[in-house]
Amino acid sequence: MAIEIWHNSRCSKSRNAFNYLKDKNIEFEVKEYLKNPPTLQELQNVLAKLGMKPSELIRSKESIYKELNLKEASEDELLEAMVQNPKLIERPIIINEDKAVVARPLENIEKVF
């Protein structure tokens, strides 16, 4: 199994998911997506695994969302905004092969196993 967590260590929800995986002795790789942003293709792949549209994964309360005036943006524009500004990507995301979840609430992690 190749478990991956898209992690932001400054986020308590992300730290909780990280610790949850560690506590369960699950081997996983960490993608610090703020330091190493996903490509357009990577983000599209994760959205497909999540079964979500960009508008469902974007953090609309972030100041950059308002600064970029994304309220009326198309799905493609939102996708591009998330690639250019990874802070807009909801976190944490847990990926297990062809499945992925946003670990909010934390119990969502079990859905990828």
83, amino acid identity: V
Residue 11 annotated to the active site: yes
Q: Which residue among 11, 26, 106, 112 is the active-site one?
A: 11
Residues sharing a CB contact under 8 Å with residue 75, sequence separation 6 or more, in sequence order: 53, 54, 55
List pLDDT tens digits, range 17-61: 999 999 999 999 999 999 999 999 999 999 999 999 999 999 999
Handedness of CA 77, 81, 82, 84 (dihedral sign): positive
C-alpha distance from residue 70 to each of 13, 96, 108 (Å): 24, 30, 28
How many residues are recorded in the chain? 113
- Domains in the chain: ranges and CATH: 3-112 (3.40.30.10)
List pLDDT tens digits, range 57-102: 999 999 999 999 999 999 999 999 999 999 999 999 999 999 999 9
